[in-house]
Structure 1
């Protein structure tokens, strides 16, 4: 049955793939995603954020800077909530929509082509309407490095379309009181993230550093805050990507193959909810 489903999906993909695009497997729930090295391909940070983020079993979730929609696709395996996503680049938003349709998830995931700095969700009032918000924003400040080459990759990597403050402000505006905002970023920006979150009434609650190997310096940080939460942040155990031998750690393998739906300890998460 699984082989038949995969074959049917691959046949459908022939009609939706554009020049330079390919179809990749997400290794969980038979999900597939349209990618293009010329435009955008997701990386480990997006997968880890989708498994780290605290999400409700039902309700509404928003993903900002969605790229080709990998985070909404992965989140759909963890919750029955409605998921909306915002992407400023037309080509990426189009890829995300086609991937959502290809996986039969158009009734659960909606992709908006818009600017997170001005986008306003339907039926929103003065307070946010989303129970959870996720975001994998551009990591590099606009003035850092060279970004005159591929415009798609430049915007995904550098703060050309939005700054870190723009991102945090949009997250705070979108999430309801008591809701969660989860982000993946570079550890070098952690101080800026924490200051920004508190400025926009998002109290940092959970932080987990990601290390390529046990003795290596962290190269990613996962952080989650609660809207109007009480001050108390917990440092989770470090997440190690590779063993010293070069093979993936068991936790990463469990995430990749869908054997583990989330990275966090469920008891710790329950304790946090009681303290929010």
Structure 2
């Protein structure tokens, strides 16, 4: 049975079989840099929640999304429509993103990030279906020079993430660790890279 979640001025419909709204998505929606008039692409958009969250911060965005599951892509398109937002959601893999190279200012992703066979309790919806390398390569191809790539990822794979981002010319520039309390270790990280950016990483406070 579907349910509605209020996100600022917008309503997010959630349906069975689509990964539910989580704290990392909410945090990423607050974290990513966004500017008026930017073209934004969400890789693995799911219900379209990140597009709604970014639109609450800056209504004048061009919104695009990609998800490999057709039913999920339909839900994301429906969520844009129900809130009066224009945008296009496509079905396909990251490596087959149907957009021109260098056509976006911002790419975001809250990907399934547990490696298959790792034993992590994320369930099938949280297991990687495409490799991290494929995701970063796709983001780099879609971004203009100076464009930004923001995503969430598990802290234990931070080194892997930074290595792959740099491989595809996405320089990590902003980092935020997510922790429920000051005494608990971070459960995830948010990172934003700049295509062809200069080295220099800003580490933000865990708790706001």
TM-score range, shorter chain: over 0.9
The CA distance in 2 between the partners of 1:40 and 1:183, in whole Å, is 16
Give RMSD over aligned pairs.
1.6
Query: In the TM superposition, what is the alpha-carbon distance from 1:114 to its structure 2 partner?
Result: 1.5
**Residue 18 of structure 2 contacts residue 47 of structure 2 at CA under 8 Å; is this kept in 1?**
no
The CA distance in 2 between the partners of 1:165 and 1:81, in whole Å, is 27
The CA distance in 2 between the partners of 1:146 and 1:71, in whole Å, is 24
Does 1:24 find its partner at 2:26?
A: no
Does 1:166 find its partner at 2:134?
A: yes
Change (3 A) 1:75 1:237: same
The CA distance in 2 between the partners of 1:38 and 1:167, in whole Å, is 23
The CA distance in 1 between the partners of 2:45 and 2:172, in whole Å, is 22
Change (3 A) 1:59 1:38: closer
**Residue 40 of structure 1 contacts residue 92 of structure 1 at CA under 8 Å; is this kept in 2?**
no
Name the TM-score, length of structure 1 as normaliser: 0.71
Does 1:187 find its partner at 2:155?
A: yes
Instruction: Give the number of the structure whose alpha-carbon radius of gyration is greater.
Output: 1
Structure 2, unaligned runs of 5 or more: none
Structure 1, unaligned runs of 5 or more: 1-19, 148-152, 240-250, 252-276
The CA distance in 2 between the partners of 1:192 and 1:81, in whole Å, is 31
> Higher strand fraction: Structure 1 or Structure 2?
2
Does 1:59 find its partner at 2:38?
A: yes
Runs of 4+ in 1 over 3 A off after TM superposition: none
Aligned with 1:206 (options 165, 171, 174): 174
Which secondary structure does the structure 2 equivalent of 1:168 belong to? helix
The equivalent residue for 2:126 is 157
The count of corresponding residues between Structure 1 and Structure 2 is 206
